[in-house]
Structure 1
Amino acid sequence: MSALVTLDKVTFHASERQILDEISLSLKAGEITSLIGPNGAGKTTLVNLILGLNQPTSGKVKRQRGLRIGYMPQKLTLNAGLPLSVDRFLALTGAHRQARKQSLTMAGASQLINHSMHGLSGGETQRVLLARALLAKPQLLVLDEPAQGVDISGEEELYARISELRNQLGCAVLVVSHDLHWVMAQTDSVICLNRHICCHGHPQSISNDPGYLTLFGEQKTPVLAPYVHEHDHDHSMHGDVVEGGCQHD
């Protein structure tokens, strides 16, 4: 299966600080890939490189010609004084009304079309943002913490819908997620990132990988808890690996 996006030994520096170090990966149609890692690991930077919002310091990012990408941000900030319905919010993309209605239906939010954006719950807002991403008819769907602000029952429904959309559209899905239980249960491929790729593979194969265990520890029960970050090496202030560093939480 040909890759929609390929990163080849990509590094990224900002203000003389190394954010990412020699990242190589590929995203393929029909696969759900989860990106996990502690805060400051470079996840947002990596997503921006995939989206083409930033350019790598070195290495190459290759995208299939004409690739359609739908992006769902982690959160949305709107001017509280601006009256804006869900339908009007989606219309800002330039999509016609039938497409807007269809995308809301696919996201499980058709009943919200005439609601005010300012009156939505966290889960409702996330579904509207998902609908907005679907307007692109994406070949690659990029979801940055899609369950942000969503309650437990809403998380289950949202993640189930993501799997359904992958099957329906045949698209690649990249999910940035802190939900380790869902990642290990529903993802085709997991990337553990901490400025470099610590491990990458099928959930079953990486659950006992030293790189995964170093980052997250052994998960004896399904959790939705904060990370346990026990790293077997240190990073300098520039992000470089310091050999012989002690483990730390």
Structure 2
Amino acid sequence: MSLITAENIEVRNGGTRALFGVSLALEAREIVTVVGPNGSGKSTLMRALIGAVPLQAGRITRRPGLRIGYVPQTLHIDRALPMTVRRFLNLPNRVGRAAARAALARTGVEALEQRQLAGLSGGQLQRVLLARAILNAPHLLVLDEPTQGLDQPASASFYRLIEALRDEMGCAVLMVSHELHVVMSATDRVICLNGHICCEGTPDVVTAAPAYRELFGTGTGGALALYRHEHDHAHDHPHGHADAPCHDHGDHGA
């Protein structure tokens, strides 16, 4: 049984349709990267899959007993509130000292255990968030743009860590990224999203697909290009195929 299956789901943010007709399945041990322009519904998809936002249509099925570790896109920290990394790992449930240290060691930040959370660099904070996400030995790690604000060497290092954790823990990974050129070697499957699934497949298949080129341009090495393709509302194309053109139906959420 797949870890998570989404069948023709639709999600609205207020009156705006953020996702429509999205169907996908996540399998054990695979690394799947979701790419797409701003406003394409990537974060909404992550939240829908973990049950944090309601569906207007469709169905999401999770394997019984599925454990999910989630790393959010941002964490707003009140710098006036003293909180060490160790105390943060106790939220919302207290964890033993050995388990906390093991998780921090796995993500390469064991030395930060007694540091103030508000004083960490962006890269350090992401590794602490990742340590918290793996405390429950998840079957699936969900990461929403985990390297936002990091430079390319730090991003590449973080993605290598994700791949190593997958190999060590045997978990699947679902992540949002604008940096396909960085995650390429560590990604088993890419989903190109723009409200619906434009195309999906291995990185080589997707980067050669017309839908991907429409969204990301050419010659960018995978970096997000300006969204400049023709709007064609005459008919719909099948979703989930590498040759399915990607259309903007003018009704996408942020």
Using structure 1 for the length normalisation, give the TM-score. 0.90
Give the paired residue count: 237
Match of 1:49 in 2: 48
Structure 2, unaligned runs of 5 or more: 233-247
Question: Equivalent pairs: percent with the same residue?
Answer: 44
> d(CA) in 2 for partners of 1:236 and 1:211?
14
Match of 2:99 in 1: 99
Report the CA distance between 1:91 and its aligned residue. 1.6
> d(CA) in 2 for partners of 1:17 and 1:149?
28
Contact kept? 1:41, 1:194, Cα under 8 Å: yes
Q: Which has the higher strand share?
A: 1
Contact kept? 1:183, 1:190, Cα under 8 Å: no
Matched ranges for 1:18-29 at <5 A? 18-29=17-28
Match of 1:128 in 2: 128
Contact kept? 1:107, 1:128, Cα under 8 Å: yes
Match of 2:191 in 1: 191
Report the CA distance between 1:236 and its aligned residue. 5.1
Deviations 1:45-72 (A, max 9, x none): 1111101011211111000011100000
Query: Partner of 1:124: helix, strand, or coil?
Result: helix
> d(CA) in 2 for partners of 1:232 and 1:27?
31
Report the CA distance between 1:239 and its aligned residue. 4.2
- Relative distance call for 1:54 and 1:232 in structure 2 (3 A) is same
Match of 1:228 in 2: 226
Amino acid at match of 1:57: Q
Amino acid at match of 1:231: H
Report the CA distance between 1:16 and its aligned residue. 2.9
Amino acid at match of 2:145: E
> d(CA) in 2 for partners of 1:137 and 1:195?
31
Report the CA distance between 1:193 and its aligned residue. 0.4
Query: Partner of 1:213: helix, strand, or coil?
Result: helix
Match of 1:65 in 2: 64
Using structure 2 for the length normalisation, give the TM-score. 0.88
Backbone CA RMSD of aligned residues: 1.7
Instruction: Return structure 1 stretches of 4+ with deviation > 6 angstroms.
Output: none
Match of 1:200 in 2: 200
